[in-house]
Amino acid sequence: MMRRRQVLAGTAGVVAAQVAGPGLAQTKPVLDAGLPAGVGTSATLEALPGKKPLIKLSYRPPNYETPMGVFKDVITPNDSFFVRWHLADIPEVDGAKWALNVDGKTPLSLSLAQLKSDFTPAEIVAVCQCSGNRRGLSDPHVPGVEWGYGAMGNARWKGARLKDILAKAGVPDGTIEVQVDGADKGLLDKTPDFVKSIPLSKALDENTLIAYEMNGAQLPHFNGFPARLIVPGWTGTYWMKALTSIKPLTKPDDNFWMKAAYRVPAKLFPSVERFTSQETAANTPITEILVNSIITSHANGEKVKAGPLTVKGIAWDGGFGIRDVEVSTDGGKSWSTATLGADLGRFSFREWSFPVTARAGKLSILARASNGAGQTQVAKALFNPAGYHHNVFHHVTVDVA
């Protein structure tokens, strides 16, 4: 649980932000157009312990969004990585005393040292994106954390493969899902514990990790220290933080966070990797990240000089690989292909750039990405009651003088 000293530390970070960087940073962040009016009133820039100022949308539980300017770098720094928790009691875990309990034919209790020494380490660059990223842009608006574009980040994760841990514990016959739990708790006894499961096939995927490092450093407290689940290509709801237990299941997990939450209407969205044991005729659990992109080089309303202009951004998806990014400067009537940057892996942000000749007046820029599965960003969001999977073309208008 965050204590008074943490609140004070966060306040100090806000003060520091006001005297740092170009000009005087404000405690009121620059927010995305289209967010509910109340967000502009309540959202502030605050720094949690170990973090630079992020856009605070709620404090208990902590939900802090990464400002758009951070995404000019393809790797998101640990101190600017977004924060998302479901439950308000987040204990300060002592890494020396922490243990990961793994059920199986031969149950295990792994210390952090054993997790690092007993299993061959693996590294992967992957995007962690909240399922509700851009929820605040839903039309009409829906309940939930009203995220803009920044409930996501891209990091280099290092840890042990989950399949190696399960192999050592022994997977019981008939296992269809693997359940994970973390250290966070609700403030009330009636609050459902945040517990998730993934299909056994996903648990045995070589890219699914129990990570103990993030960008070459230990995981920050607010991003899951001492270890968290990494499920590349799938939305962040499965990326359990501050792991405490792993449990193979022979029946579909029916806790609240699986049976009722994080579900979308059946057949509404394209999905290659399904979670069949959790599907119903009416809805299905959210799984892979949809193809998406944003413009990072310029902000809406920014003033630029006439002449040659390079528009840059990032694109990403659920791991099928970015096939291309297209840019339009005539409102979507015509599209031209951008140049893709370095490929850090199929689960990573992919940089892109496109040259534009800017003439005096307003310059409208649209970007859309397509992936190796043949999916493309959409012109209009597919509405769903939870505001998930918002992947509309990113649109920025700059003033050219």
Per the CB < 8 A criterion, the answer to whether 239 and 128 are in contact is yes
Closest among 277, 283, 256 to 174, alpha carbons compared: 277
d(CA 226, CA 224): 6
Which residues are CB-contacts of 170 (< 8 A; sequence separation ≥ 6)? 104, 105, 106
SS3 at position 193? coil
Rounded distance between C-alpha atoms, residue 64 and residue 53, angstroms: 9
| Listed residue (292, 249, 256, 290) closest to 272, CA to CA | 290
* Average pLDDT score over residue span 141-167: 98
Q: State the burial class of residue 320 (Cβ atoms within 10 Å of its Cβ: 0-12, 13-18, 19+).
A: buried
Q: What pTM value is reported for the model?
A: 0.92
φ/ψ of residue 65, rounded to 5: -100, 145
Length of the chain in residues, anyone? Answer: 401
Range(s) of the chain covered by CATH 3.90.420.10: 99-285
Q: Is the pLDDT of residue 6 over 80?
A: no
- Where do you find CATH 2.60.40.650 in the chain? 292-400
What integer is the mean pLDDT of 45-66? 96
Range list of H helices, 57-179: 112-117, 162-169
The token pair at 253 is 């997990």
Percent of the chain past pLDDT 90, that is, above it, reads 90
Tokens for 145?
């954390």
Residue 299 is predicted with a pLDDT of: 95
Residues 6+ apart with CB under 8 A from 167: none
Determine which of 6-15, 20-29, 257-266 has the lowest per-residue pLDDT on average.
Answer: 6-15
Integer CA distances (angstroms), 227 to 160, 190, 215, 301, 367, in order: 10, 26, 14, 41, 36
Give the whole-angstrom CA distance, residue 323 versus residue 332. Answer: 19
Q: Tell me, what DSSP letter sits at residue 135?
A: G
Burial class (CB in 10 A: 0-12, 13-18, 19+), 30: middle
Q: What is the pLDDT of residues 328-369, one digit of tens each?
A: 999 999 999 999 999 999 999 999 999 999 999 999 999 999
Question: Picking from 97-101, 233-237, 271-275, 368-372, which range would have the lowest pLDDT averaged per residue?
Answer: 271-275
Quick one: 99-285 is in which CATH superfamily?
Oxidoreductase, molybdopterin-binding domain (3.90.420.10)
Q: For residue 33, what pLDDT band results from cuts at 50, 70 and 90?
A: confident
Residue 25 has pLDDT above 90, yes or no: no
Residue 81 in this model has a pLDDT that exceeds 70: yes
Is it true that domain 292-400 has CATH number 2.60.40.650? yes
Q: How far is CA 300 from the centre of its chain?
A: 23
